[in-house]
Amino acid sequence: MIEANSVIPLYKQIVHALRDEIAAGTYRAGDKLPAETELMEAFGVSRITVRSAIKELEEAGMVVRARGKGTFISSKKQLIAANDQESFSRSCQLAGKTASTEVLDLAWTIPTFRDAKFLGVDENTKVLRSRRLRYVDGEPTLLETNSYSRTLAFLEHEDLNGSLMDVLSEHNVAMGRNIRTLEVCSATDYEAEYLHVEVGSPLLLFVDKRFDAHDDPLFISRQVYCTERLKFYL
């Protein structure tokens, strides 16, 4: 209940009330919150007060607003390190999470211009490419596409359903530097299907350019992360 004479601001009382309902399971991940007008009527407050409460819940990562659709309860986000010196599997392990992998595709294919340029091959020369879906505690979180140099052709016959770094280590491949870039992209049909998001949803895109100990290109990796279920610590 809202207490008009309380020292606690009205919007903060609504935050507490909704937070308690979420904790109690009244609202579950993916559920839609009542519309602003319904909340205004239920709590007897103004639209500004309701919006202030929703904004605080959004900043806390408890709800997410979708333009034209409403406000929804967020799934609990996984927290892993954004350390490019650690593998995805190792980052999950350090965060107390369980990583798993599904190989979607492994084949020799014509590279993109960017990949061909990095690997130093002709655009019409096929390279080994893998597509893997990575999970955190069973939730599809990362879609990864790797294009490999010819020196890693042996990966065609390896099990890539685990850690790629472990496989490379077993073959005595010494890792060198990595160049990483980060940007925001929108989910394509392909990405949306596997990450269970809507087409056009914002995703985080990491591109890693991996070199060996002699500074020769090893592979280039394009990784799209689902922002609805993941956040990083730096």
CATH number, domain containing residue 101 = 3.40.1410.10
Rama region for 149: left / alpha / beta (φ>0; ψ in -120 to 50; rest): beta
Of the candidates 73, 103, 123, which is a domain's last residue? 73
Same domain, 56 and 89: no
pLDDT tens for residues 134-190? 998 888 989 999 999 999 999 999 999 988 999 999 999 999 999 999 999 999 999
Which domain range does residue 61 map to? Answer: 10-73
Same domain, 32 and 108: no
Same domain, 69 and 82: no
CATH number, domain containing residue 20 = 1.10.10.10
In the chain, what is the straight-line distance between the N-terminal and C-terminal CA atoms, in Å? 40
Same domain, 229 and 142: yes
Q: Rounded to two decimals, what is the model's pTM?
A: 0.66
Task: Measure the CA–CA gap between 107 and 77, rounded to whole angstroms.
Answer: 33
Number of domains observed in the structure of the chain: 2
Question: According to the model, what pLDDT value does residue 79 have?
Answer: 47
> What would the mean pLDDT of 119-135 be, rounded to a whole number?
94
